[in-house]
Amino acid sequence: MALKATIYKAHLQIADMDRSRYADHAVTLARHPSETDERMMVRLLAFALQVPADDRNGPLEFAKDLWDVKEAALWQHDPTGVLEHWIDIGQPDDKRLLKAGGRSRQVSVYSYASSAAVWWRDLQGKVGRMNNLAVWHIDSNQSQALAALAARTMQLQVTVQEGTIWLADGRATVELTPRKLR
């Protein structure tokens, strides 16, 4: 019998001064049994950093990448069904990114493992032609601190200013400085 996903609920209060976006979002995450707190929280962070100001071009949604390899971790479809934004978490391979780049107007990757430098060195030549790709790396110490904020019900304040991100839950604050690899 297959294990079922665990449901997490998060209320995000986002103050993104870099993009002039200020909003509250209530989100529900289905955490796959094989997913770690660290990966789930990086998914939640990617949502906070990429959520559009409004849903005119479609909402940003959590997808089922761990259940279905044809899906992203998060994605945004416009009202006609066209894939606007594909977001992957971790270290996807070049075939996955090239396919995503052909299907979507924009592709973003958030890597967080300590082995990301080796992954990116091997990958960057293979995806060099992709004009619609952005790759970010979160230091593994920072992503592990982010994982410590994980709870089944979360109230998080997300503040973004000059490329630095602070996530606070009332007990602790985590400071992140994602590094743009591309």
Cα–Cα distances in Å, from 164 out to 2, 35, 43, 72? 40, 26, 17, 25
Please tell me the distance from the alpha carbon of residue 45 to that of residue 39, in angstroms, as a whole number: 10
Domain coverage including residue 147: 37-151+172-180
Q: How many domains does the chain have?
A: 1
154's tokens: 């979360």
Does residue 17 lie within any of the structural domains? no
175's tokens: 């400071």
Does residue 29 lie within any of the structural domains? no
Please tell me the distance from the alpha carbon of residue 79 to that of residue 85, in angstroms, as a whole number: 13
Q: What is the pLDDT of residue 2?
A: 65
pTM value is 0.93
Does residue 139 lie within any of the structural domains? yes
Does residue 23 lie within any of the structural domains? no
| Cα–Cα nearest to 65, from 105, 25, 109 | 109
Q: What is the CATH number of the domain that holds 85?
A: 3.10.640.10
Give me the average pLDDT of each 10-residue run along the chain (182 residues): 84 95 94 92 97 89 82 93 95 94 95 91 92 96 96 97 95 95 88
